[in-house]
């Protein structure tokens, strides 16, 4: 009898071989060098430590200054940023893992206090009870949260500009040495804002029907796939997450239409970002089965899964890779700890989750052998 797939099974994602099915999930850490939002040697050390994962998806990375919503997050639209990311990809590849860059435009989830620009979005509709952060010199280095601002409704020229920015971002990512890119279509940011009827009130070809609301995702994805290859292009979606004022009763049907379009384009994966709080809604199996029947390539699930839950999903062929975020954040050798059922490091100081220029709370979590010997 053929053994069941587990987290430790090798996997071939299209033409990309992965040593295991652990995926390091994207997590914003706000360590980019200023000015210029440039990736740096400290970030390279951080990602290199995480190379025990079969594949790493980077923190969300803005495709333009307009697409930036949080302070000190990295970009992928200048030469200096490309050179900075080369430090990261070289380190990860040297350590034997693969790495995709997550391409990001925050849309309405921003403030002029972050980037000096009025946010843009499908419609002039503010995200209620939503904040972003800046660093304004607080003594403890903490971020200061500020409310998002009312966005400007995007013109057709704005839409074309954003499509071009994603395409150039993808091209730049390959120049920087990444194995591929993930288009961030989740969590209430620009593409997700277009997908949902409550944030997209347009009456042109990018609004109204579900098919129209999927249009910008299709056009961005096609542009990226044409630029770097569909085998290097993945997409992240979040059908069951509604924070940032994104509760849309039509979203599941819309996501299925989007999945059909992504299947037709031939992208290498769909990455489901799932709710990760303790009493979060579980994605029902019938949705997973329907998605598996709709999309023939790699499916990824991320959302506070235990290894046991991950192996159950893998064994049932409902997903192919499973992402882990906070467990990797504090345990860079997470797969080894899972294998040995070893004690896990916990978050040592929440003040170091976002921002900070030093290793504390970023690259100083001990590896298993150091924990045992100390």
Q: What is the pLDDT along the chain (374 residues), one digit of tens a residue?
A: 455 899 999 999 999 999 999 999 999 999 999 999 999 999 999 999 999 999 999 999 999 999 999 999 999 999 999 999 999 999 999 999 999 999 999 999 999 999 999 999 999 999 999 999 999 876 667 889 999 999 999 999 999 999 999 999 999 999 999 999 999 999 999 999 999 999 999 999 999 999 999 999 999 999 999 999 999 999 999 999 988 999 999 999 999 999 999 999 999 999 999 876 655 567 888 999 999 999 999 999 999 899 999 999 999 999 999 999 999 999 999 999 999 999 999 998 888 888 876 788 999 999 997 544 44
- Active-site choice (47, 77, 133, 189): 189
> Reduced to 3 states, what is the DSSP secondary structure of residue 206?
coil
Instruction: Compute φ and ψ for 100, nearest 5 degrees.
Output: -110, 145
Per-residue pLDDT, 372 = 46
Stated pTM of the model: 0.96
> Reduced to 3 states, what is the DSSP secondary structure of residue 350?
helix
Per-residue pLDDT, 142 = 80
Per-residue pLDDT, 1 = 41
Cβ burial of 307 (10 Å; 0-12, 13-18, 19+) is buried
Cβ burial of 100 (10 Å; 0-12, 13-18, 19+) is buried
Domain 11-373 has CATH 3.20.20.70: yes
Per-residue pLDDT, 374 = 41
Instruction: Compute φ and ψ for 18, nearest 5 degrees.
Output: -120, 140
Q: What are the sequence ranges of the domains in the chain?
A: 11-373
Residue 189 bears catalytic tag: yes
């Amino acid at each position: 009898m053929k053994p069941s797939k587990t987290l430790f099974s090798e996997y071939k994602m299209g033409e990309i071989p992965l040593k295991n099915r652990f995926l390091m999930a994207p997590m914003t850490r706000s360590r980019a060098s200023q000015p210029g939002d440039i990736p740096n040697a400290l970030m390279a050390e951080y990602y290199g430590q995480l190379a025990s994962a079969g594949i790493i998806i980077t923190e969300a990375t803005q495709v333009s200054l307009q697409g930036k919503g949080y302070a000190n997050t990295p970009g992928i639209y200048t030469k200096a940023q490309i050179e900075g990311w080369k430090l990261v990809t070289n380190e990860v590849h040297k350590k034997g893992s693969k790495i995709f860059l997550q391409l990001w435009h925050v849309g309405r989830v921003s403030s002029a206090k972050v980037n000096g620009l009025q946010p843009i979005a499908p419609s002039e509709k503010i995200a209620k009870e939503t904040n972003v952060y800046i660093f304004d010199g607080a003594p403890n280095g903490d971020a200061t949260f500020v409310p998002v601002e009312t966005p400007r409704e995007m013109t057709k020229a704005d839409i074309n500009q954003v499509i071009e920015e994603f395409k150039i971002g993808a091209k730049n990512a390959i120049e920087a040495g990444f194995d591929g890119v993930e288009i961030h279509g989740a969590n209430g940011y620009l593409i997700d804002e277009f997908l949902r009827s409550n944030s997209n009130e347009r009456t042109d070809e990018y609004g109204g029907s579900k098919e129209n609301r999927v249009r910008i995702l299709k056009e961005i994805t096609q542009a990226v796939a044409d630029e770097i290859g569909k085998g290097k292009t993945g997409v992240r979606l979040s059908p069951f997450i509604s924070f940032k004022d994104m509760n849309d009763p039509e979203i599941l049907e819309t996501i299925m239409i989007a999945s059909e379009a992504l299947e037709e384009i031939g992208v290498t994966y769909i990455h489901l970002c799932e709710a990760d709080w303790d009493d979060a809604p579980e994605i029902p199996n019938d949705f997973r089965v329907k998605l598996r029947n709709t999309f023939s390539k790699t499916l990824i699930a991320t959302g506070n899964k235990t290894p046991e839950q991950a192996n159950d999903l893998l064994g049932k062929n409902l997903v192919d890779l499973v992402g882990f975020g906070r467990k990797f954040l504090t345990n860079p050798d997470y797969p080894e700890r899972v294998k040995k059922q070893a004690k896990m490091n916990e978050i040592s100081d929440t003040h170091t989750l976002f921002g900070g220029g030093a290793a504390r709370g970023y690259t100083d979590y001990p590896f298993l052998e150091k924990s045992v010997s100390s």
